């Protein structure tokens, strides 16, 4: 299969690298020229949970038009850039191109659908952890499951094919019939973990070591769960607070993506995580003061970058 990975950050490289090793034609697309050049010259280096290897049989480019038409586009750009990235990649779209978003936050499905058409879009969530170590070099920090599904819940051949392909590439993958509920459940974990770790500098697991951060995590997630309920979203986890705490424990040593972003003075995904809950809450009449506070504090940090 010809696969384009839109956004060759740590997660994009992890998935793209493993799919290339499994024999697929993989193109990594990213704006970071030094990263692209390094991969084309030296290959993609992956270290971590499954040992260290260099994947040579993979291509990278800054220009989507170099790729031609793709069978599968895996969207891994930061969620705030999804619309722009997909608009800039229309040359990838052929008659049977499918887009898969495995990104954090809300709004990715809608942004991709606006450009490519909703029928092309499959969504999913991943619990793998990956960190960018430098150009062409990532660390696979933690294993986890991947769940993917059609937006309407139908179990189609294409989603079964993709799941089989991911399993062959070493990603333990399930097909689910409530992928929107999965996306929102993952959102609960990001709501409870990302901003708090970015504000405190703590690793995910450490949030549970302090009464204050544990309490804020609980309050933020409860607000978000109320928003989900009012919106009619059926979460895939029974107790969103317990689920979030479980994610903290499973990814205890992780520095969350938002902590990595503020450390490197990059724009964070706050607007599509806690910020999105605030906006949804406003529309539905659900108060979200903790999420509003977290959003405002992260916004101030972003504004103060120099």
In the complex with ligand KPL, the residue whose CB is nearer, 64 or 129, is 129
Binding to ligand KPL by CB under 6 A, coded x per residue (else -) over 6-25, reads --------------------
Stretch 93-122 residues interacting with ligand KPL (CB under 6 A) = 104
Per CB under 6 A, the segment of 38-46, 91-99, 109-117, 190-198 that binds ligand KPL is 190-198
- Count of C-beta atoms within a 10 Å radius of residue 25: 16
- Is residue 84 within 8 A of residue 91, CB to CB? The reply is no
Active site residue 186: yes
Contact call for residue 204 and ligand KPL (CB under 6 A): yes
Considering the complex, what minimum distance in angstroms separates the CB of residue 263 from ligand KPL? 12
- Name which of 61 and 203 has its Cβ closer to ligand KPL: 203
Q: Taking the CB of residue 164, how many other CB atoms lie within 10 A of it?
A: 12
SS (H, E, C) 144-168: CCEEEEECCCCCCHHHHHHHHHHHH
Tokens of 230: 């009012």
What does the block give as tokens for 179? Answer: 């992928």
Please report whether residue 236 would count as binding ligand KPL according to CB under 6 A.
no
The one segment of 73-81, 148-156, 161-169, 247-255 that binds ligand KPL by CB under 6 A: 247-255
Q: Is 254 in the site for ligand KPL (CB under 6 A)?
A: yes
Note whether 79 binds ligand KPL by CB under 6 A.
no
Q: By CB under 6 A, tell whether 241 contacts ligand KPL.
A: no
The nearest distance, CB 6 to ligand KPL, in angstroms, is 18
Helix (H, G, I), strand (E, B) or coil at 88: coil
Out of 45, 78, 111, 186, which one is annotated catalytic?
186
Residue 257 binds ligand KPL, judged by CB under 6 A: yes
Q: Is 158 exposed, middle or buried (0-12, 13-18, 19+ CB in 10 A)?
A: middle
CA 53, CA 6: separation in Å to the nearest integer? Answer: 22
Instruction: Give 120's contacts (C-beta < 8 A, 6+ positions apart).
Output: 93, 97, 98, 99, 112, 113
In three-state secondary structure terms, 119 is helix
Which H/E stretch holds residue 250? helix 240-250
**Which is closer to ligand KPL, CB of 46 or CB of 259?**
259
Minimum CB distance to ligand KPL smaller for 236 or for 256: 256
- Tell me if 251 contacts ligand KPL by CB under 6 A: yes
* Distance of closest approach, residue 1 Cβ to ligand KPL, in angstroms: 26
Q: In what order do the strands lie in the sheet with 129-134?
A: 53-55, 44-48, 137-142, 129-134
| Residue of 29, 189, 237, 276 interacting with ligand KPL (CB under 6 A) | 189
Sequence-distant (6+) residues with CB within 8 A of 97 are: 69, 70, 71, 72, 73, 116, 120
# of chain residues touching ligand KPL (CB under 6 A):
12
244 in contact with ligand KPL (CB under 6 A):
no
- Binds ligand KPL (CB under 6 A): choice among 256, 268, 274, 291: 256
CA atoms within 13 A on the CB side of 89: 33
C-beta of 33: minimal distance to ligand KPL in Å? Answer: 25
Candidate residues 61, 108, 163, 194; the one interacting with ligand KPL per rule CB under 6 A: 194
User: Which residues here bind ligand KPL, judged by CB under 6 A?
Assistant: 104, 129, 189-190, 193-194, 204, 247, 251, 254, 256-257
| Active site residues per annotation | 186
């Amino acid at each position: 299969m010809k696969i384009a990975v839109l956004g060759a950050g740590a997660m994009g490289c992890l998935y793209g690298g493993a799919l290339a090793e499994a024999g697929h034609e993989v193109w990594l697309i990213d704006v970071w020229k030094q990263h692209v050049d390094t991969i084309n010259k030296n290959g993609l280096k992956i270290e971590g949970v499954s040992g260290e290897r260099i994947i040579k049989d993979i291509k990278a480019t800054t220009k989507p038009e170099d790729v031609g038409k793709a069978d599968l586009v895996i969207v891994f750009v930061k969620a705030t850039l999804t619309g722009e990235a997909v608009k800039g990649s229309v040359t990838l779209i052929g008659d049977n191109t499918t887009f898969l978003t495995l990104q954090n936050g809300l709004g990715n499905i809608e942004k991709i659908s606006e450009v490519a058409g909703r029928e092309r879009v499959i969504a999913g969530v991943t619990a793998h952890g990956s960190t960018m170590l430098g150009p062409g070099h990532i660390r696979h920090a933690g294993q986890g499951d991947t769940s993917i599904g059609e937006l309407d819940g139908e179990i189609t051949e294409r989603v079964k094919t993709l799941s089989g392909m991911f399993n062959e590439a070493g990603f333990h993958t399930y097909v689910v019939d409530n992928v929107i509920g999965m996306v929102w459940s993952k959102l609960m974990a990001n709501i409870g973990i990302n901003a708090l770790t970015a504000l405190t500098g703590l690793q995910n697991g450490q949030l549970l070591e302090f009464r204050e951060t544990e309490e804020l995590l609980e309050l933020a997630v409860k607000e978000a769960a109320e928003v989900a309920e009012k919106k009619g979203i059926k979460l895939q986890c029974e107790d969103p607070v317990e689920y979030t705490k479980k994610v903290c424990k499973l990814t205890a040593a992780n520095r969350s993506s938002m902590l990595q972003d503020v450390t490197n003075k990059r724009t964070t995904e706050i607007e599509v995580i806690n910020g999105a809950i605030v906006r949804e809450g406003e529309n539905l009449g659900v108060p979200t003061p903790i999420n509003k506070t977290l959003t405002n504090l992260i916004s101030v940090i972003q504004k103060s970058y120099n």
